[in-house]
Structure 1
Amino acid sequence: MIATATATATATADQLPVLVIGAGPVGLAAAAHLVERGLEPLVLEAGEQAGAAVREWAHVRLFSTWGEVTDPAAEKLLAPTGWAKPDAETYPTGGDWTEQYLQPLADALGDKVVRVGARVTGVSRSGRDRIVDADRDTQPFTVHVTYADGREERILARAVIDASGTWGIPSPAGGDGLPALGERAAADRISYRVPDLKDPAVRARYAGKRVAVIGSGASAFTALASLADLAKSADGAGTHATWILRRGISGSTFGGGTADQLPARGALGLAAKAAVDEGHADAVTGFRTEAIHRDGERLVLVAEDGRRLAPVDEVIVLTGFRPDLSFLDELRLGLDERLQAPLALAPLIDPNRHSCGTVYPHGVNELSHPESGVYLVGMKSYGRAPTFLALTGYEQVRSVVAAIAGDRESAERVELVLPETGVCGGAGLFDQAEADAAPDGGGCCAPAPALVQLGVDAPAAPGGC
């Protein structure tokens, strides 16, 4: 039973659904765990299809194998439908992930559980704004929804799991965290996503051009490697990248390399390094962008220290993503002032101190807020930190759902082993043949990643998998 605010204000907590925001990998996994526990889920997805954000990078090959990007409860739900899990040792693209796993999972849950074209615009306590203390914890949540056709609805929920991710808010080019002067005016020449160079129109946009790439993470690595591959092709002669880093280059700049337990992730850093070493990209360090000026048909980037770079044709800004907290403003969240992640989780995921492997698995204790019953999970739980893996999100929702179901012992028994070293967030650079040959996608005994040529599967995945 889905209770609307207009239909009933007297429904008891155990009669109300657990509302999940976002039908991505972690949101759908949360729904599967709720079904397994006998609880009623309702998943609201702003996009037109399940996995809408992943579909936007369908051309990307993940650096995690199939065995690392499916959830056990989801697999149990899919089994009666005849679903067959893909080879656990191969590497899916974002398109593979959506078509072979996320969409079948959404179909198995059904359209009464997964509503698409449903954007959450606000979450609060029924009859209580942020200020009111009286009987606050006894009131259900009220979730305000706007549908694609303009309809509005108010839905009551016993708990809220926000798995809406961070894909919708890329960080700007400005070194101070704000858009650089002129950044908005130059929007026609700036992209905040790694381009799909297999798309003829996109390829034509960058072929033979000078391109500035701003960022130091896995997405930037793959953009550099992809542009280098384009420069080597017959139609891309003259393509050249200027790689802009806010810091200097150190031994860890290119990630885990041959020591990385995820071979594809290690190969990613090696390919970016090769782009620089082979002269397809120049690195500019300590450059914090203050302004972007037009110079005829080109753009000139200016740093806070006054340095001006040679004009470029295009700019690709890959400086991370941010959580949308606007629709949660009436809730009492406990968030770290720097990362915008839950207070207990933030010290564990500080990107200045941790990689994927050094962030120990966590669950409901680290994800709880002063407002009981609301949880930020998945990439959104990491706020501005980039070091997220799908396995982490699946363990988060397993723990959170156990807590909602009243099984505290299971909720606090967090068991998960994550790969060590290297940066997280990004795609692998294995082509399909090499991906199929990779023996286990990780572990201490995995072979050292080889530097591979791009061209079949290139760009970088956001958020990390």
Structure 2
Amino acid sequence: MTGSPVVVVGAGPVGLAAAAEVVERGLPALVLERGPHAGAAVAQWGHVRLFSRWGELVAPPARRLLETHGWQHPDETTYPTGREWVQQYLRPLADALGERVRFGAEVTGVARRGRDRVVDAGRESEPLTVHVHTSDGTPERITARAVIDASGTWGSPNPLGGDGLPALGEAAATDRITYLMPDLGDDAVATRYAGRHVVVAGSGHSALTALVGLAELAARHPSTRITWLLRREAVGSAFGGGEADQLPARGALGMRARAAVEAGRIEVVRGFRTEAVEHDATGALTLRSSTGQVVEAVDEVVVATGFRPDLSWLSELRLALDATLQAPVALAPLIDPNVHSCGTVYPHGAKELAHPEPNVFLAGMKSYGRAPTFLALTGYEQVRSIAAALAGDRESAERVELVLPETGVCSGAGLSELDTAVADADADAGCCGAPAEPQTVSLSAPAAR
């Protein structure tokens, strides 16, 4: 395996950071991305502004590599959109990595060479094989010394159905349902929602982003009606930390959503777990809950209920995953959203991310399984530790230090220049008497494999 590369699946922020860490350690690396360019998944929500400033969005080894190619860091105090993050950082980073990054390469399976998951003998001495389909449909096999799966969860959104499976009739209504945050700055997209009854399902910051954008659209088109479906019985912490949020832009978004609800521009339906989606006589949708609640005359549905990992192509590997979260078993207790907020997640690295299958790691959003509280700085620290472990630097791999911001739900992203202006004002005023640091970004849209 000496000449085989460390294969990284996914050319998103964490995947490219992993490659930069591995290269800096002097190991061969190969990044496989099914999209046409770096950050292909991030580009799909490129209109959304991030919670964090540029100063917190660049992984240290990536910056060192980029600067050798003459790259200049954007203004560290500003908040980029997803599109700017791709154009000004992720694509240049992929260019700097050069032939180590391949696009149009979809990973369809990973296995131990000559061994299915049942066979014990030789697992530690045989390399991994990564099965790939190229953009022209050609199958390929790549031998790897290790695999870092940073493919994220973007390609596997959770359904509208309240039991984790699609609601009855959900598949037949896909022309009225979107699982992405609509770009209401695009006239064609705005026309789809203006003057319609729009339902938003979900309680994270992606849902808040959609709600605030739709409320602004309704201000221009008063006949627009917005209904917010919550599975929980009370709004509770859905608005995040507000002024107490250590990510000011995130807090500003929550406060704007709260104001829209309190002003009556958004109708909130609580305790609604969708069981069925039906078409009425006019072609509009009717949503029914498992307890008999009904929301009628629905024109469009925005489903922002989170994402889940696609584990199907890892079926021949011996993974130790938590039965509830589908995260590594050693990591799951540290990130359980029933217990922890993003700010109480303990530092973790290669040790917690390891599996019974040697040299296989899930990193980034995918490592969190179904937990919704992943932060980018967490991913950067994960892959730093993993790269150190693969290089044999045990001391560095085990020295994991990470401070995360308290308060609020950590999924989702910021909304607009207005949010960041409010956030900067709060920060300058010493929001809640404490500096707003460290600033981190949450990845609601991890890279696709």
Distance 2:284 2:240 in 1: 32
What secondary structure does 1:243 align onto?
A: strand
Contact 1:261–1:444 at 8 Å: present in 2 too?
Answer: no
Question: What are the within-5 Å matches in structure 2 for residues 17-416 of structure 1?
Answer: 17-110=5-98, 112-233=99-220, 236-295=221-280, 296-416=282-402
Which of these residues, 404, 411, 414, is aligned with residue 425 of structure 1? 411
Deviation at residue 416 of structure 1 after TM alignment: 1.7
Secondary structure (helix, strand or coil) at the match of 2:371 reads: coil
How far 1:361 sits from its partner (Å)? 2.1
Residues 436 and 317 of structure 1, relative CA distance in 2, 3 Å threshold: closer
**Greater displacement, 215-224 / 249-258:** 249-258
| Conserved? CA contact 2:151–2:446, under 8 Å | no
Give the whole-Å Cα distance in 2 for the aligned partners of 1:51 and 1:373. Answer: 25
Gaps of 5+ in 1: 1-12, 449-459
Task: State, as a whole percentage, how many aligned pairs show the same letter.
Answer: 65
Q: Which amino acid aligns with 2:413?
A: A
Shift of 1:283: 0.6
CA–CA distance in 2 between the matches of 1:196 and 1:241?
16
CA-CA distance at 1:53 after TM superposition: 0.2
- Report SS of the residue matched to 2:124: helix
Preserved CA contact (<8 Å) 2:45 2:445: no
Shift of 1:463: 4.5
TM-score, length of structure 1 as denominator length: 0.91
RMSD: 2.0
Residues 435/242 of structure 1: CA separation in 2 closer, same or farther (3 Å cut): closer
Deviation at 1:166, TM superposition (A): 0.2
- Check conservation: 1:419, 1:442, Cα contact below 8 A: no
Q: State the alpha-carbon separation in 1 of the partners of residues 271 and 45 from structure 2.
A: 30
Paired residues in the alignment total 439
- How big is the shift at 1:442? 8.8
> Which range moves more in the overlay, 32-41 or 245-254?
245-254
Distance (whole Å) between structure 1 residues aligned to residue 365 and residue 81 of structure 2: 18
Unaligned runs of 5+ in 2: none
Give the Cα separation in 2 of the matches to 1:398 and 1:442. Answer: 32
Aligned AA for 2:262? D
2:15·2:151 contact (CA, 8 Å) conserved in 1?
yes
Preserved CA contact (<8 Å) 2:149 2:362: yes
Structure 1 pair 410–461 and aligned structure 2 pair: CA distance change class (3 A): closer
Secondary structure, in 3 states, of the residue corresponding to 1:252? helix
Q: Secondary structure at the match of 1:272?
A: helix
Structure 2 Cα separation of the partners of residues 446 and 230 of structure 1: 34
Output the amino acid matched with 1:242.
T
Change (3 A) 1:151 1:45: same
Q: Would the alpha carbon gap of residues 218 and 351 (structure 1) be closer, same or farther in structure 2, given more than 3 Å must change?
A: same
Deviations 1:68-106 (A, max 9, x none): 111000000000111111122211100110000000000
**SS where residue 309 of structure 1 aligns?**
strand
Cα offset for 1:309? 1.4
Secondary structure, aligned partner of 2:260: helix
Contact 1:57 1:461 (C-alpha < 8 Å) held by counterparts? no
Matched to 1:176, the amino acid is D
1:302-359 deviation digits (Å, cap 9, x = unpaired): 0001111122111111111011111100000000111111001111111122221111
Structure 1 residue 297: deviation in Å?
2.0
Query: Is the 1:61–1:461 Cα contact (8 Å) retained in structure 2?
Result: no
